[in-house]
Amino acid sequence: MIRVNVLALTEVTAAVLPGMVRRGRGAVVNMGSGSASVLPSFPLYSVYAGTKRYVAEFSRSLAVEYGSSGIDVQCQVRSRRAARIHGNRENKRRTEMWWGSYFYDKKS
């Protein structure tokens, strides 16, 4: 996960940025995750959340550093409802039950 979300992202970006700077234009679009900022991380996903936080901060820094060079850098974050990870209604229901049990106190 670290190789894909951190190392590969950094290396590919380093490979394409010089050409974008020479042309004076370009766009870098990275895929983030709500678990890095919008949603609190949940058990056993600390490495995933950490790598996605790297993606967000790396993107933000690049946007500041290269914005004046005509390069647009974005970090897109899809919510869990928009992602197609559910597959079908039953999986969606199970996911919502799990998330609900984590985020909501059932005592009230």
Here the tokens at position 98 are: 């799990």
Domain annotation covers residue 107: no
Whether the CB-CB separation of 71 and 17 falls below 8 Å is answered with yes
Residue 8, domain member (yes or no): yes
Q: Do the domain assignments include residue 87? A: no
The yes-or-no verdict on residue 98 having pLDDT over 80 is: no
Rounded to two decimals, what is the model's pTM? 0.69
Query: Considering the domain boundaries, does residue 98 fall inside one?
Result: no
Measure the CA–CA gap between 3 and 9, rounded to whole angstroms: 8
Amino acid 107: pLDDT? 45
DSSP 8-state assignment for residue 43: T
**pLDDT for the residue numbered 97:** 46
* Phi then psi dihedrals of residue 94, to 5 deg: -65, -45
For residue 96, is it within any domain? no
Q: Per-residue pLDDT tens for 11-43?
A: 999 999 999 999 999 999 999 887 776 666 677
Nearest C-alpha neighbor of 72 from the set 10, 27, 38, 12: 27
pLDDT digits (tens, 9 = 90+) for 59-96: 999 999 999 999 999 998 876 554 555 555 555 555 44
Confidence label for 106 from pLDDT (cuts 50, 70 and 90): very low
Number of separate domains in the chain: 1
For residue 83, being part of any structural domain is answered with no
Residue 6's Cβ-count burial label (10 Å; 0-12, 13-18, 19+) is middle
- CA torsion through residues 16, 21, 22, 26, sign: positive
Q: Which domain holds residue 44?
A: 2-77
Rounded distance between C-alpha atoms, residue 45 and residue 47, angstroms: 6
Q: Indicate which CATH number applies to the domain containing 37.
A: 3.40.50.720
User: Does 84 fall in a domain?
Assistant: no
Q: Which residues are tagged catalytic? A: 48
Residue 69 in any domain: the answer is yes
Can you give the pLDDT at residue 49?
A: 86
| The pLDDT value given to residue 38 | 66
